[in-house]
Chain A
Amino acid sequence: MRRMRTYLLKRVLSLVPTLIGVTILIFLMMRMIPGTVVDQLIGTEGRADEATKAAMRAFFGLDQPLYVQYWRWVSGVVVGDFGQSWRSGLPVGKMIFDRLAVTAELGLLALLISLLVGIPLGTLSAVRENTMLDHVARIVSLFSLSVPIFWQAAMLILALSLWFNWVPPVDFASPVRDPLANLTQMLLPAVVLGTVVAAQVMRMTRSSLLDVLRHDYVRTARAKGLAEGLVVRRHAFKNALIPIITVIGVQIGYLLGGAVVTEQVFTLPGVGRLVLDAVVQRDYPLIQGTILFIALLFMLSNLVVDLLYAYLDPRIRYE
């Protein structure tokens, strides 16, 4: 337990320099965009004298040196203040928080679907290696990895509208007010987003199980006369789990990135769509805030995955 605590502390401390680097990178990227918010607001046709422009620059704090601007932003972020949207005037933190539930629901549903499909299919594929089922599963997974989210979504919407006269609803159904309508609405986006993850999980489950099934202790278990199902469930699966968790950890990044596209295609009011709206409107505090928030989520999920490894494989925390 003490070793686990030390490992946790070390891992959390190692995040600090990365986190500082992430904030510097995001801040600098936004400052490297040609033109300032003042130019944006005045526009190409607007006319403003130098005094007005200087007053606007001072209002947005752009007359300060870069390090002062960075410090102001970061010290705000530390206490949960991500700044204010230049377009709507609303606090960026509130805008993210209001949309977080949609992205979280989408990501979790997609992850759940991918695990429910990927793990059993990968297991079956490994247990029945080189059978027709194995070949079909591998080919389907390869196709799934090659389909862009937005095209898969478009084709599914097209098929559903042609065969069932179903079109995705324009208004978002709240999971609190109408859970059934919400689930119906979220299922298709979650399937689309989860397809690639399911394929990756399937492939890793298959290869990891195949690797474990060739070990001596599995042969011994079989030699003792244990049923194949028991051998797989009790002896092989737990040891095959670590590489599968690695893939799931990596795929959380995909889910977060993919949510941007999925929310755009299905017009879901999540954090991903907020990023895109911010980019299109060139609302820099909002771009800065949303990108930092998603990077934080990604880092946090990687931390959880690392801790899970350490829990499952004690060798990791002893290193």
Chain B
Amino acid sequence: MSSKCEKCILFAGEGGQGVQKIAQALNLAASKSYQSTYLNSFGVEQRGSPSLAFIKISDKVINYPRFDHADICLIMNSRSIPVIEKYVSANTEIVFDSSTISITELTKISHKKYGVPATKLAFDKFDKRSYNILLYGVITKMTGLDEKESWNAIFDLLGNKFKTKEIVDINHEAFIFGREASLEERDFSEPQFETKKGITIIKNSERKAIIMPARCKGCLICVLKCPVKALKVGTDLGVFGTPVPDIDIEKCIACGNCKRFCPDGAIGVEKI
């Protein structure tokens, strides 16, 4: 905060990732020692819409909460990259989730890129719901905010959800880990949680099942409605990073219930 008197921070993710919560917390933490504003913007859909938060921190009075170019930009999913491109200048420092976003998607837009394999870390080390807290730790460190104030802000906001001491501890660990994490600058890790591309075709001599993971949102209605339990939760990931159903083609009777009930047109079976 000392080198420049004003910092513009842009958060970009999707509905359901907790983007707005950590943006609110950052605003709250910054408002203890500086002037700060918070402005949100999202799409019409509740799940999977681009969700942006504009934070401005300054030691002077802030006249207008929007900005043209961000100083720090946090990207939490690859679908929001086209939306935030116009807010990124050559000097913008980009922090991205390197376990879901491939670096090739970002090469065009900025020079300063820092990867954090946040999804992988949250799954392996902490609770999967501490994902945004971990990234919050990274951002507060980059902004230069005080550790104690930052944690108090998140505790004020989410205190009612931290029902047991274990939840508090694991989130605090994730927060501290985020603050102390060394950011990947050149050798970015490979994305591990990516939507499987293309069409999966599973067939035997009588039946053929077609699954398209890029359309599957992971509601698992097909698994529920399968009369012979031929479908189960699989390992491939769909468009929201949720598991895609896996089919046992020998058990399948090609009744077509999965296709009938799938709201997204992601699965179908037919007799050959």
A binds B: no
Interface residues of chain B, those whose CB is within 8 Å of chain A, are none
